[in-house]
Structure 1
Amino acid sequence: PVQWLANELDTSDYEMVIKTRHIDEETQFTELDWQLIRFSPLPLYLAADNKWRNNTNVLAALDLGSEKASKYCLNEAIIKAGLAYAKDYDSEFYACYTVHVSPFLRDLGIVFSDEQVINAFEKLPVAQRTLIEAHDLKDKLKIKAGVVEQVIPSVAAKLNADLVIMGSVGNTGIKGHLIGNTAEKVMKLLKTDILVLPPLGV
């Protein structure tokens, strides 16, 4: 299916790929899931096998620390998708950004997580701050310090989110298979529906 999507299908006729995921104690994703996450040229919606609850929310995981234009465009696409889903399902929309803190340094007390979060928004690149302000999301943006693959599932649980939206940086080859994409690491702890947007231009 992945090769067919990438090489044989005119994807301009479609908006996304939708696939179910079965969550149990041993495994949450099949080999096909991981292949789609890495290589699908279309946005990938992975639907968990649990029903949506009432009064649930949509969470967008953003990478706001980068000055790259490609990261800005991907953040913008994630925000727009999240706002659209929240509107359609009458849900609240939130965004989160993780200020990376080394667990080793944190445990040694060399870096204090609370201090990292103070004024974190003002320290973001101007374009990223402008993006948040343009969508009036400053009060909806949750900034936490820590390791991203732990922070996002924790914030999703606290906000009662049934859908988490994130981007894939598209790591492939040896690097991708050895360390995995951030999205992949995050998803191993998420029990929600997940929408993964591919790098723009893919």
Structure 2
Amino acid sequence: MVIFRGFFPMLELSRILVVIEPGSDSQPALDKAVQLAKYTDSELELMICDYSAYLEDGYYFDPIQAQKMRYEHSELHIKELEAMAAPLREQGLEVTVTAAWGNPPYEEVITRVKDSNPSLVIKSTRHHNKLARMVLSNEDWELIRYCPAPLLLVKSQLWPSSPVFLAAVDPDHVNDKPAALDHKIISGAASLAAISGGQLHLFHSAWQPPLAGVYKVLSDANQEGNKLKNLATLNGICESSCHWSDEDVVHALPTTASVLNASAVVIGAVSRSRIDRVLIGSTAEKVLDQLECDVLVIKPD
């Protein structure tokens, strides 16, 4: 059991919005949402967001026909969602369903989030055949940037008993993250650990770009260790659960997550501007695509 003493309230999971992949036999996001709902007695909302250019007014059909076909299309999705919801309701879970149509679909998710204010949004990533692993799609990245609620991107199977959650923090704040965001990241990871009977670990990469692009900048081990230890102490986390590396975060974070057999990595995201769109497409994209476990994205207040 995790005993957490932090600056932010624990992540509340009273209502979970689950983004369903239409027509897919496998629904990892739904499986993970059901697991969390059974931990916390959360309400579930299942949502399909779909779009087809063929159903646009004037593409193949006149506006009246197109509107009718969009309605029928949404009704088919509602039936699909109700078929998923029925066995969950029999298990005692409270489940509602929603279907939306629009382009791009992620904007429909964000609109629903703003309207219903869920505690958490869960979405599965997609399998990339060439890489034989789960990678983030453009829709995932847009949700990372703009979804106002905590976002859980599901890559792995159901969490085992005593799962490990790894909070990626930055005591240096060299990336201009708000200082409070680290504590909120830790709070989110601690929440997942607490409800699942899991373990909480902290990770920090002290890597700096090489001088002149060639010479590696060495980190002070004692200084880096103490900075992470101080952050851990402020949040009631033991030193043995702290991990730092002077290697590039692109390699160090996935490696640490793999060594710990982490079920999820918790990160912070502040990307909303056009400049951030460029930055988030470089280091962050490489890191998140290489992680084999789930990723929980936390936004600052």
Please indicate the TM-score interval, normalised by the length of the shorter structure. Answer: 0.7 to 0.9
For 2:115 and 2:283, how far apart are their aligned partners in 1? 25
Per the TM alignment, residue 158 of structure 1 is displaced from its structure 2 partner at its CA by: 0.7
Bigger relative contact order, structure 1 or 2 (CA pairs below 8 A, ≥6 apart):
1
Q: Match for residue 234 of structure 2? A: 134
Counterpart residue identity of residue 281, structure 2:
G
> TM-score, normalization: structure 2?
0.55
- Which residue of structure 2 lines up, in the alignment, with residue 30 of structure 1? 137
Q: Is the 8 A contact 2:113 2:148 kept in 1?
A: no
**Structure 2 CA distance, aligned partners of 1:7 and 1:22?**
22
Q: Describe the SS at the equivalent of 1:149.
A: helix
- The size of the alignment, in residue pairs, is 193
The higher radius of gyration belongs to 2
The 8 Å contact of residues 21 and 49 in structure 1, kept in 2 or not, is answered as no
Structure 2 match to 1:41: 148
1:160 aligned residue: 261
- Calculate percent identity across the aligned residue pairs: 25
**Match for 1:149: what amino acid?**
V
Summarize deviations over 1:159-185 as a string: whole Å, max 9, x none. Answer: 110111000121531552366264333
Q: Is the aligned partner of 1:145 residue 2:246?
A: yes
Question: Is residue 78 of structure 1 aligned with residue 185 of structure 2?
Answer: yes
Q: Is the Cα contact below 8 Å between 2:113 and 2:147 reproduced in 1?
A: no
Task: Work out which of the residue numbers 206, 211, 217 in structure 2 matches 1:111.
Answer: 217
Q: Counterpart of 1:48 in structure 2: which amino acid?
A: K
8 A Cα contact 1:166 1:183, kept in partner: no
Secondary structure in 2 matching 1:136 = coil
The alpha-carbon distance between structure 1 residues 104 and 54, as it changes in their structure 2 partners (threshold 3 A), is: farther
Aligned pair partner of 1:57 in 159, 164, 171: 164
Gaps of 5+ in 2: 1-104
What is the rounded CA distance, in whole Å, between the counterparts of 1:135 and 1:62 in structure 2? 12
Gaps of 5+ in 1: none
Q: Residue by residue, what CA displacement relative to the aligned partner does 1:26-70 show, whole Å, maximum 9, x if unpaired? A: 661222111111111111111115343455311000011028996
- In structure 2, the CA distance between the partners of 1:56 and 1:71, relative to structure 1 (3 Å rule), is same
Match of 2:292 in 1: 191
CA distance in 2, matches of 1:144, 1:178: 22
Correspondence for 2:9: none
Cα distance change on mapping 1:87 and 1:50 into 2, 3 Å: same
- Runs (4 or more) in structure 1 with deviation over 6 Å come to 104-107
Cα-to-partner distance string for 1:97-134 (whole Å, 9 max, x where unaligned): 110233577974x534xx53233133x4xxx8654212
1:73-110 Cα deviation digits (max 9, x unpaired):
111111111111112222211010110233577974x5
Give the deviation of 1:10 after TM superposition. 3.1
Are the equivalent residues in 2 in contact too, given 1:168–1:183 (CA < 8 A)?
no
Q: Corresponding residue for 2:120?
A: 16
Q: Does 1:172 align with 2:273?
A: yes
User: Counterpart of 2:180 in 1: which secondary structure?
Assistant: helix
Cα shift at 1:4:
3.3
CA RMSD of aligned residues (A): 3.0
Partner amino acid, structure 2, of 1:93: L
